[in-house]
Amino acid sequence: MGTESKDSDKRVALVTGASRGLGRAVAIELATCGIRVVVNYLTNDREAHKVDQEIKSLGGEAMLYKTDVSDATAVRKMTRQIVEQWGKIDILVNNAGIVRDTLLLRMPDEAWDEVINTNLRGAYLCTKYALRSMMEQGWGRIINIASLAGLVGNAGQANYSAAKGGLIAFTKSVAREVGPRNITANAISPGFIVTEMTDKLPQEARDAILARIPLGRFGVADDVAGLTAFLASEQASYITAQVICVDGGVI
């Protein structure tokens, strides 16, 4: 009985796109803080199972949930099932994201739609359906993984920059709307972080970016995970509507 009530006190986090890269690091970091973590992903069963196993081997609790964040019916079902299983959703990390880079004049309409749907609509849907549980409890944390491209733009990434810029404006609006319910909403703006997403960049582009980073190195997923865990914690209770850059001071 005592253990049951203790379990129900544990925070529950939904991390989208957690099979790889930043989402994976965030899921593991939150789990090491004693938070129950839902590891959402789209296709990569093998990698997602590895994250699940890693969390469990560290003594944490994880639940895998394979679903497309841009699918409203599926997201609604996912949030409902998390609440059925673990009673609530306290923390939402909207991290799932894709790139379909090309110059605007050559951009297929599908490349625009896919990026907006995953990176912006996905965050909108997950937030909308996770909010109900946070509102009921009068406590919540929403952390949106934006991008430097959403602040300053990037040639060849009009779709991605628009989605991330939209995500930043969305974050600020949500923060103003749900602040009175003791729910914070913040965005993290990573610069260049070493993951599969950035592995695809040609060497020339990598060298050019590195030359603009005062700290003289690319970021790693743990750089973002640490800040996410802080924003999800009690210590961050008076921080909301902010965009915090994790970019080595890129200029």
Minimum CB distance to ligand NAP, residue 117 (Å): 8
Q: Which of the ranges 39-47, 57-65, 203-211, 232-240 carries the binding residues for ligand NAP, by CB under 6 A?
A: 39-47
Site string for ligand NAP, 179-198 (x = CB under 6 A): -----------x-xx-xxxx
Under the binding rule (CB under 6 A), the answer on residue 88 touching ligand NAP is: no
- In the list 133, 147, 161, 184, the residue contacting ligand NAP (rule: CB under 6 A) is 147
Minimum CB distance to ligand NAP, residue 18 (Å): 6
- Choosing from 41, 65, 124, 160, the catalytic residue is 160
- In the list 13, 14, 20, 65, the residue contacting ligand NAP (rule: CB under 6 A) is 20
Q: Which of the ranges 3-11, 82-90, 117-125, 205-213 carries the binding residues for ligand NAP, by CB under 6 A?
A: 117-125
Put the strands of the sheet holding 12-15 in their side by side order. Answer: 62-66, 36-41, 12-15, 91-94, 140-145, 183-190, 243-246
User: Are the CB atoms for 187 and 246 separated by under 8 Å?
Assistant: no
Rank residues 126 and 139 by Cβ distance to ligand NAP and give the closer one: 126
Rank residues 15 and 131 by Cβ distance to ligand NAP and give the closer one: 15
Rank residues 17 and 140 by Cβ distance to ligand NAP and give the closer one: 17
Under the binding rule (CB under 6 A), the answer on residue 166 touching ligand NAP is: no
For 245, counting Cβ atoms within 10 Å of its Cβ (0-12 exposed, 13-18 middle, 19+ buried), the class is middle
Minimum CB distance to ligand NAP, residue 4 (Å): 31
DSSP per residue, the chain: -HHHHHHHHS-EEEESS-SSHHHHHHHHHHHHTT-EEEEEESS-HHHHHHHHHHHHHTT--EEEEE--TT-HHHHHHHHHHHHHHHS---EEEE---------GGG--HHHHHHHHIIIIIHHHHHHHHHHHHHHHHT-EEEEEE--HHHHH--TT-HHHHHHHHHHHHHHHHHHHHHGGGTEEEEEEEE-SB-SHHHHTS-HHHHHHHHTT-TTSS-B-HHHHHHHHHHHHSGGGTT--S-EEEESTT--
Minimum CB distance to ligand NAP, residue 219 (Å): 7
Rank residues 149 and 183 by Cβ distance to ligand NAP and give the closer one: 149
Q: Is 160 a catalytic residue?
A: yes
Under the binding rule (CB under 6 A), the answer on residue 23 touching ligand NAP is: yes
Q: Give the footprint of ligand NAP on this chain (CB under 6 A).
A: 16-23, 40-44, 47, 68-70, 95-98, 118-119, 122, 145, 147, 190, 192-193, 195-198
List the catalytic residues: 160
